Amino acid sequence: MHAGYTALARCRVEPSKRRAHSESYGMRGIYMHDPTALVAVLAPELFTWLAGEVRVVTEGVARGHTIMDVQKKRWHKPTEWAGRPKVQVAIGARSAEVCELCLDRMTA
């Protein structure tokens, strides 16, 4: 399937998603997680990165939330964070350039 066709199909589907984002987040636009993840691989220089240990909460009121220890506190005894590998997490992006790259790739 041609990427331009995919972009056009998304435009037809997205009004309900845009409405949901507007109602839920008070924003005009939508979060585009998957395309943004691809841009992070193709152009990591468009993002601000932070290294730390990451965990996903699996129970309770915070279930599904991702939390990260950036080691600003020194623990005096071993914790559940000890020995976890550090990963790079994007904490900022040059959004206009990310959007431009997404659109370029979807309409090529």
CA distance 100 to 79: 42
Single-letter code of the amino acid located at 56: V
**Domain presence at residue 70:** yes
Q: Residue 23 — pLDDT band, cuts 50, 70, 90? A: confident
Task: Point out the residues that are catalytic.
Answer: 33
**Domain presence at residue 75:** yes
CA distance 56 to 86: 14
What is the predicted pLDDT for the residue at 15? 72
What is the predicted pLDDT for the residue at 12? 52
Q: Which two tokens stand for residue 63?
A: 């279930």
**Domain presence at residue 79:** yes
**Domain presence at residue 23:** no
Total of domains in the chain: 1
> In 10 A of CB 39, how many CB atoms?
22
**Domain presence at residue 50:** yes
CA distance 40 to 37: 5
Instruction: Supply angle C-alpha 46, 47, 48, rounded to 5.
Output: 140
Flag whether pLDDT at 16 surpasses 80: no
What is the predicted pLDDT for the residue at 71? 73
What is the predicted pLDDT for the residue at 8? 43
Flag whether pLDDT at 39 surpasses 60: yes
CA distance 98 to 108: 15
